[in-house]
Each structure stands twice: as structure tokens, then as C-alpha cells.
């Protein structure tokens, strides 16, 4: 009887870990949904099986650290200890090279989980969500380590460049269909239209309104970046779109009171400004050879959600 009870308990723990980890994957796009998390994992795995494995392991690591170190059960169950770890694991697996880069990626996922807890405590006083800030800072920190420690090797695509010698190239193919799917896929570092379609499906599965917000955010980013003379190659592979999608979802849904009729309009404006923030942050990081990640999304979202504390109808 006792043996049967132990087996049942282990099964329950496994189911809890799997569900919470999948929620952690879905929380990357600000959604708490097991099925959405599974579809996202499928979309990633279609593009790269190895990256899919890293994604799942990173989510599990973040969840296990939260659970083993006594995190609040409600916060843990929402997947909030998983999503920053997921993004860190994926980013380090892609932007580092060498035989041990996947070990570093998983170690980064673990560090991010602890940093997530710290940021939760700090941002609680400001009543603002931590968003993906732990992922951004941890990833930048570990990428810069490569300039001092030989165990860390940067991917060849991350090359420091001088702003003084930078030339904007607005030539390139104009492919609006490709751009329509690549914006959402770049949230997970993917450049695959099939993965992009699956990711839209994942969002609509959880909430059709958020799905509409995602489409609007991507459209706003395409129109704004193209209208302002952005590089076509960057526009249509989604590098202006993914931050705008996250921003419109966050600004349109977080802390929205019932009297606020302008939340979606605020989200659209915020998505437009995210394009400018993306261009600015990209230029700022150029001499360091660092990727922009989701910093434009974090900056613009914090500005709007912070302002909403004083201007409740924003």
C-alpha cells in the first residue's frame, strides 16, 4: 500500500513538473496555458530538435529550482519561474559555440531562475512585472564573459562593429508574407514560417483576443519600420516585429481596468514606439556585438505600465 502511494506521488510530481514547465514556455508570450506551451515546443522542435530539447530542459530547470528552493506555489504553478530560463537557455545555446556551449546554456537557465526570484522581490515594490529582464541581463552577462574566459566562445555572427563605420543598407527583398510570420517566430529565435504559423495557432488557442493583438503588433511593426526606412532584410525576418508583438500584448492586457477604453490604442502606440526602441538599442549594442533580445519590449512596456499608475486611462 505504501509503495503504491509512493508511485502515485511520483506520478503527480511528474505531471506537475511537466505542466508547470509547459506553462513556463507559454509565459514567454505572456500566456499561462499548457496546450499553448506544448504547441510552442512543437514549433521550436520543428525548426531544431536540439533547440527544442534545450527549451524543455531550461523550463524544467527553472521550475525545479523554484520548487526546491521554496517558491510560492501559486507563482510556481503559473510557470513564472520557467520563461526567463527558457529564453536564456535558448539564447546561450544559439549565441555561444564550442563543445560545452549547451552545458553553459543550461547553467545560464539555472542562474536566471535565481535572478528571476530576486527581480520579483525588487519589482514587487514598484508594482511592475519583471517581464524578460532577468533573461536579458543574464544572457548579456554570460556572452560578455567570452572576452575574458576561454571556456566561453561567441558565435561568429556576434561581431562588435563601430558605429562610425556603420552604413544603413535599406536594399533587399520585400516579402510581406514572410514578414507576417517571422515576427512571432523571432520571439523564440526562429526564422521559419511554419514555426511562425504554429506559434500564431498557439496564441489563438489560449485567447483569440491575444491572437488578434499579436497580429496587430506584427502589422504595426512592419508598417512602422518599413515606413521609417528600416533595413528590408531585418524587417522581413522579423527582427522589428517580435518586440512589438510582446509589447502590444503586455500593454493591452496588464493592469487594464474596466473603464479603460484606450488600452488597445495604447498598445498600438507602444508597439510603434518599440520599433524605434529596437533601432536605438541595436545601435547602442553594436560596439559590443550583443543581440538586442527583448530589451525594447521591456523598456517600452515598463514606461507605459508605469505611466498607467498615474494616468489610469492610458
Q: State residue 237's pLDDT score.
A: 87
Q: Does the fold of domain 162-314 match that of domain 12-158?
A: yes
3-state class (DSSP) for residue 190: coil
If phi > 0 it is left, if psi is from -120 to 50 it is alpha, else beta; for residue 291 that is beta
Q: State residue 98's pLDDT score.
A: 86
- Is pTM beyond 0.85? Reply is yes
Number of CB atoms found within 10 A of residue 17's CB:
15
Residue-wise pLDDT for 131-152, tens only, equals 999 999 999 999 999 999 988 8
Q: What cell numbers appear for 186 in the block?
A: 523571432
Phi, psi of 161 (to 5 degrees): -135, 150
> Where do the H-state alpha helices sit in the chain?
2-26, 34-47, 49-68, 73-77, 83-95, 101-124, 133-144, 176-185, 193-206, 208-227, 232-236, 241-253, 263-285, 295-308
Q: State residue 258's pLDDT score.
A: 54
CB 56 within 8 A of CB 21: yes
Q: What cell numbers appear for 46 in the block?
A: 520543428
Report domain extents, the chain.
12-158, 162-314
Q: State residue 266's pLDDT score.
A: 93
Say how far apart CA 88 and CA 18 lie, in whole Å: 19
Q: State residue 257's pLDDT score.
A: 58
Q: What contacts 88, CB < 8 A, 6 or more positions away? A: 58, 105, 108, 109, 111, 112, 134, 135, 138, 139
Q: Which CATH superfamily is domain 162-314 in?
A: Ammonium transporter AmtB like domains (1.10.3430.10)
Strand partners, 154: 96
CATH code given to domain 12-158:
1.10.3430.10
Number of CB atoms found within 10 A of residue 50's CB:
11
Q: State residue 171's pLDDT score.
A: 72
Please, what's the largest Cα pairwise distance for the chain? 74
DSSP one-letter code for 149: -
Say how far apart CA 112 and CA 163 lie, in whole Å: 31
Q: State residue 10's pLDDT score.
A: 59
pLDDT by residue for the chain (314 residues), tens digit each? 555 555 555 567 788 899 999 999 999 999 999 999 999 999 999 999 999 999 999 999 999 999 999 889 999 999 999 999 999 999 999 999 988 899 999 999 999 999 999 999 999 989 999 999 999 999 999 999 999 998 888 988 888 888 877 777 777 777 888 888 889 999 999 988 899 999 999 999 999 999 999 999 999 999 999 999 988 888 888 999 999 999 999 999 887 655 677 889 999 999 999 999 999 999 999 999 999 999 999 999 999 999 998 988 77
Say how far apart CA 314 and CA 292 lie, in whole Å: 27
3-state class (DSSP) for residue 247: helix
If you compute the radius of gyration of the chain from its CA atoms, what whole number of angstroms results?
19
Q: What contacts 10, CB < 8 A, 6 or more positions away? A: none
Residue-wise pLDDT for 188-237, tens only, equals 999 888 999 999 999 999 999 999 999 999 999 999 999 999 888 888 88
Amino acid at each position: 500500500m505504501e509503495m503504491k502511494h509512493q508511485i502515485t506521488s511520483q506520478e503527480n510530481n511528474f505531471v506537475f513538473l511537466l505542466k508547470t514547465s509547459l506553462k513556463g514556455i507559454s509565459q514567454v508570450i505572456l500566456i499561462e496555458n499548457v496546450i499553448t506551451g506544448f504547441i510552442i515546443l512543437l514549433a521550436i522542435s520543428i525548426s531544431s530538435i536540439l533547440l527544442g530539447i534545450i527549451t524543455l530542459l531550461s523550463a524544467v530547470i527553472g521550475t525545479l529550482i523554484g520548487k526546491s528552493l521554496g517558491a510560492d506555489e501559486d507563482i510556481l504553478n503559473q510557470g513564472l519561474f520557467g520563461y526567463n530560463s527558457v529564453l536564456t537557455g535558448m539564447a546561450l545555446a544559439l549565441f555561444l559555440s564550442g563543445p560545452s556551449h549547451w552545458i553553459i546554456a543550461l547553467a545560464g537557465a539555472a542562474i536566471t531562475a535565481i535572478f528571476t526570484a530576486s527581480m520579483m522581490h525588487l519589482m514587487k515594490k514598484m508594482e511592475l512585472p519583471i517581464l524578460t529582464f532577468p533573461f536579458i541581463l543574464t544572457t548579456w552577462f554570460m556572452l560578455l564573459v567570452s572576452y575574458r574566459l576561454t571556456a566561453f566562445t561567441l558565435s561568429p555572427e556576434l561581431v562588435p562593429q563601430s558605429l562610425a563605420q556603420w552604413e544603413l543598407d535599406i536594399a533587399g527583398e520585400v516579402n510581406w508574407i514572410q514578414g507576417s510570420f517571422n515576427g512571432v517566430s523571432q520571439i523564440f529565435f526562429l526564422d521559419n514560417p511554419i514555426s511562425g504559423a504554429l506559434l500564431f495557432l498557439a496564441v489563438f488557442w489560449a485567447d483569440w483576443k491575444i491572437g488578434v493583438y499579436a497580429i496587430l503588433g506584427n502589422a504595426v511593426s512592419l508598417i512602422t519600420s518599413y515606413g521609417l526606412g528600416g533595413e528590408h532584410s531585418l524587417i522581413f525576418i522579423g527582427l522589428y516585429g517580435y518586440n512589438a508583438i510582446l509589447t502590444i500584448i503586455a500593454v493591452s492586457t496588464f493592469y487594464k481596468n474596466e473603464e479603460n477604453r484606450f488600452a488597445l490604442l495604447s498598445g498600438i502606440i507602444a508597439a510603434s514606439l518599440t520599433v524605434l526602441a529596437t533601432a536605438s538599442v541595436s545601435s547602442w549594442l553594436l560596439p559590443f556585438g550583443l543581440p538586442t533580445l527583448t530589451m525594447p519590449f521591456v523598456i517600452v512596456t515598463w514606461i507605459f505600465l508605469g505611466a498607467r499608475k498615474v494616468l489610469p486611462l492610458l
